[in-house]
A and B are shown apart, each in its own frame.
Chain A
Amino acid sequence: MNEGKIVRVNGPLVVAEGMQNALMYEVVEVGEYRLIGEITRIEKDRAYIQVYEDTSGIKPGEMVYRTGSPLSIELGPGLLGRIFDGLERPLDGILELSKSPFIKRGVKVNSLDRHKKWYYKPIVKKGDTIEDNDILGTVQETELIEHKILVPPSVKGKIIDTVEEGNYTVDEPIATIDMNGDRKELYLMQKWPVRIPRPYSEKLEPTEPLLTGVRVTDTIFPMAKGGTAAIPGPFGSGKTVTLQSLSKWSEAKIVIYIGCGERGNEMTDTLTSFPKLKDPWTGKPLLERTILIANTSNMPVAAREASIYVGITMAEYFRDQGYDTLLVADSTSRWAEALRDLGGRMEEMPAEEGYPSYLASRLAEYYERAGRVRTLGKPPRYGSVTVASAVSPPGGDFTEPVTSTTLRFVRVFWPLDSSLAQARHYPAINWLQGYSAYVELVADWWSKNADPKWKEYREYMVKTLQREDELRQIVRLVGPESLAEKDKLVLDVARLIKEAFLKQNAYDDIDAFSTPQKQVRIMKLISLYGQKSQELVEKGISVKRMNEKITIVTDIIRSKATIKNDELEKYDELEKILLKQFEELSKEV
């Protein structure tokens, strides 16, 4: 492979000559430090290289070494529970190798540990014919996850040799196949170019909810397995906390958390808290199902651009094994800024607010890699990639290009509101602006598994909140006391919905996670309260009097943090007292 020579260095952009036959998006090593870069433009024998590491000290005349292959990552046992940088280099490995708390340049570490042995159980036998994505065998990677070893895409043939059940490293051959007359060895690990979506058999409509344990995102704006969501919000509105809640409590089998241009301490927080936290669905440590990708804001910009693709490729790989995976990206705005920065250095013509004109198509490509699919390969299986991304609009302005473009490609919108956040109403999802296209799709599931009246309760709450907003406009002009009693009641019920249901403390042991069953119990109480109180108000009881007599409301509000998910029978008691207090009050009519 021919080598090139650097002719220009401008920050992360390096131009090299003598690069005949270079490929677009080919990975190269730049200069004496052999920094990793990717070719993003070719003009005759000149290649424009986006370098993923700091280029200080690099000078014209140094060599550029070609690798001949596009940016690819290693997929196989050993991904779970680890933290990688934006190029899938393990950060703990870098720490060990560089003997410094700082990230040194040009460090080369294998993504997957080459020494660790995995206990592999083959499923296929000698003589079997295998093709793309068939399951060769399994490795119990963590207590929680059985890693299915897949035939790499576009590999087909007859097995001429396979190993016995036993311990193998990721680069020891586990099977040999005859592929059109050629012998080909297969390993526990495979490689895949990150910018190309992994193939599947068929894309399907999402049907099941992706339960999150967060009441507002389960009930008001539900998410579906294989769906897409955007979480825009100004700083301090709780984007990160919302994403962390999702990655902690959601029902996904595999969670991939990308810290894309965000804070270092946040990644450390996840890294230190996840081993201690238990997955509410299985009771196992959360880290066993989680992969972290950290490209913090102070790490090189170009690698930030790559980190999104690395994450989604991992998600697709686990999807192909038949798992429901959740990809959480914080934040896509930083990724878009990386595109803008690199585009600017390449002297491309900018579109809106300096962002490159291909911003929309890149965002579309990213969100379109989500979805529920029937995978390729035997045995037949279904998997999904759900994508939830934070967006950080400058000044909280949702009309800016990244937010407005993103909204065209997502079906769930969880907008965060700074005035709610300032009042410490968390999660600060604005219940009037948000939407979810999956309500109808998941209603079936809820009525079968939680409560047949789920949809009815939900509509009651949504309508009350909308009516409250209208009334608030009036209150602002005339004050609350001049409202009719039935309108005062709407304000009263809306307050109960907010306090007892919408507000949820992500740091409270009991409140942080609500099962669907608990959610419908609270919804039922709210709806009961609304219905009973309306009857009495119509009969002439004032809302003020009702507030004095129906004292159990305070306990209903507290119940989210006092009644555990496994002691829902306590709600019967609350319901009984509520009905009793109403009965008492009805005597005053």
Chain B
Amino acid sequence: MSIIGVREYSNIGSIKGPLMVVQGISDAQYNELVEIELPNGERRTGLVIDAGMGSAIVQVFEGTSGISPSGVKARFLGRGLEVKVSEDMLGRIFDPLGTPLDGGPEIIYGERRNINGEPLNPAARQYPEEFIQTGISAIDGLNSLLRGQKLPIFSGSGLPVNQLAAQIARQATVRGEETNFAVVFGAIGVRYDEALFFRKFFEETGAINRVAFFLTFANEPPVKKILTPKTALTLAEYLAYEKDFHVLAILIDMTNYCEALREISASKEEIPGRQGYPGYMYTDLAQTYERAGIVKGKKGSITQMPILTMPNDDMTHPIPDLTGYITEGQIVLDRGLYNRGIYPPINVLMSLSRLAKDGIGEGKTRDDHKDVSNQLFASYARAIDLRGLAAIVGEDSLSEVDRKYLLFGELFERKFITQGVTENRPIEKTLDIGWEVLSELPESELTNIKLTYIKKYHPLYREKK
């Protein structure tokens, strides 16, 4: 932003939805911050989204209800939307403009940063290669999370995604390392009870001191919801790249974010894309999700775990769809598994971690990890296929090998995927369970595993030793 003073205007042309046209101004900057003062002294904040000669369109964060064209003062502040960020924000709760919500003091010393951030130079990035052990077999074994990755969780309404997110936040660790670890938590348009759940969880586990909370509730204006992940990630970037923290950024729930985006887009009368969501939603989401990673020469990192609710459990809905195109994989929760009492109800076949291949295997987790994971995927996919078939033609008309696959599928879900809310499995344990369930299949079916690993880890040969 170029340096320019504060200018005040009071000629409001029109008001529509969250937008307000200010007349008479010819030097409004695009994305300039505007302070709006109502006749009763109330102050609101807005941003210039269209700057013209003689007028500017201002988007008001808190909404325009109660604003009348007369008596309103619009102060153009000559700077963009910035918040103060500081290490002191850990252990605290804020709204997306940086105002404390926990009754504590304002952040006084801090660095002012534009919350939109800047794109990270691909030449400055360091490729993620460090395995994060979450202690959850379905993730560690099959869809491993790496430090610096962005891996979302696709949930459905009513599924236990909050428990899972909390479990990951508590258990996630890079083994053999004591580090500066922090969680930045962006709660976007959440229900009161959700906010309470996470707050209580962090307090009980004693983790609250390394968590910074940014919060907007479900009933707040859409613009505030839009700002929440941006502010959260601005702090995450500061902590990671200036203060050497390894940050886990959890954003919940991105569906609320997208709905807010649609609401604002509609009020701007933009041409809608699919299902009324704006055509630029991909780019907008990318500008949030891409704020993760590791930078060469910096000690810290940002690992991002956005959480979203698939409307009607539909993965092809624009929100999960566009997210999946940007993030490096996805963890998908499944209502069918949940209904059968399986926790965590992770559908491993639909889940994916694009980076896993670079963080697992010899010297990172265990030499057989890649092969075991490939085999589990292939065999479980076959088991699911056969399960569908058996439902129609009956188990008896399947071959002997096929029936073994059915049994394998059952054991895989009961032993490998299922685990307790507090159960923290080391990766070796996860892989050993994998071998245990695979040993139900004839050895000739294990074509994805190298013979040397079969000799080394297959329970049949292990027992002999």
Please determine whether B30 and A57 come into contact, CB atoms closer than 8 angstroms.
yes
- Alpha-carbon gap, A7 to B295, bound state (A): 39
Please determine whether B123 and A423 come into contact, CB atoms closer than 8 angstroms.
no
**Which residues, 254 to 307 on B, are CB-close (under 8 Å) to A?**
270-274, 279-280, 282-283, 286-287, 290-291, 293, 295-296, 298
Residues of the A chain whose Cβ atoms lie less than 8 Å from the Cβ of B122: 83, 91, 259, 264, 267-268, 271, 294, 296
Contact A103-B121, Cβ < 8 Å, known A236-B330, A268-B127, A476-B392? yes
Please determine whether A334 and B282 come into contact, CB atoms closer than 8 angstroms.
yes
Contact A337-B283, Cβ < 8 Å, known A423-B377, A423-B381? yes
Residues of the A chain whose Cβ atoms lie less than 8 Å from the Cβ of B171: none
- Alpha-carbon gap, A91 to B118, bound state (A): 14
**Which residues, 10 to 29 on A, are CB-close (under 8 Å) to B?**
10-11
Contact among B121, B355, B381, B392 with A424 in the assembled complex (CB-CB below 8 Å): B381
- For this complex, into which size category does the number of interface residues on chain A fall? 35 or more
Chain B CB within 10 Å, residue with most, of A55, A395, A476: A395
Residues of the A chain whose Cβ atoms lie less than 8 Å from the Cβ of B329: 236
Contact among B114, B124, B358 with A95 in the assembled complex (CB-CB below 8 Å): B124
Please determine whether A479 and B389 come into contact, CB atoms closer than 8 angstroms.
yes
Please determine whether B27 and A91 come into contact, CB atoms closer than 8 angstroms.
no
* Count: A-B pairs, CB below 8 Å: 233
Residues of the A chain whose Cβ atoms lie less than 8 Å from the Cβ of B114: 56
Please determine whether B283 and A91 come into contact, CB atoms closer than 8 angstroms.
no
Please determine whether A60 and B118 come into contact, CB atoms closer than 8 angstroms.
no
Contact A297-B326, Cβ < 8 Å, known A60-B52, A94-B121? yes
Q: Which residue of B lies closest to A543 (CB)?
A: B399
- Alpha-carbon gap, A91 to B296, bound state (A): 14
Residues of the B chain whose Cβ atoms lie less than 8 Å from the Cβ of A83: 122-123
Residues of the B chain whose Cβ atoms lie less than 8 Å from the Cβ of A102: 117-121, 124
Q: Which residue of B lies closest to A15 (CB)?
A: B52
**Which residues, 116 to 142 on B, are CB-close (under 8 Å) to A?**
116-128
Please determine whether A265 and B316 come into contact, CB atoms closer than 8 angstroms.
no
> Is B200 on the interface with A (CB-CB < 8 A)?
no
Shortest Cβ gap from B66 to chain A (Å): 27
Residues of the B chain whose Cβ atoms lie less than 8 Å from the Cβ of A265: 125, 127-128, 148-149, 293, 328, 355
Interface string of A103-135 (1 = CB under 8 A from B): 110000000000000000000000000000000
Please determine whether B120 and A101 come into contact, CB atoms closer than 8 angstroms.
yes
- Alpha-carbon gap, A311 to B234, bound state (A): 33
- Alpha-carbon gap, A269 to B128, bound state (A): 9
Chain B CB within 10 Å, residue with most, of A56, A101, A480: A101
Chain B CB within 10 Å, residue with most, of A9, A83, A396: A9
Residues of the B chain whose Cβ atoms lie less than 8 Å from the Cβ of A353: 273-274
Shortest Cβ gap from A345 to chain B (Å): 9
Contact among B27, B272, B321 with A395 in the assembled complex (CB-CB below 8 Å): B321
Known: A91-B123, A240-B354, A479-B397. 4 other contacts (CB 8 A): A56-B29, A56-B114, A83-B123, A554-B447
Q: List 12 A-B contacts (CB under 8 A).
A: A57-B30, A57-B80, A60-B27, A91-B122, A234-B316, A235-B325, A263-B290, A264-B290, A265-B125, A267-B125, A423-B381, A424-B377
Q: B-side interface residues toward A, CB under 8 Å?
A: 1-2, 4, 26-32, 49-53, 80, 114, 116-128, 148-149, 241, 270-274, 279-280, 282-283, 286-287, 290-291, 293, 295-296, 298, 316-318, 321-322, 324-326, 328-330, 349-350, 352, 354-355, 357-358, 370, 374, 377-378, 381-382, 385, 389, 392-394, 397-399, 402, 444, 447, 450-451
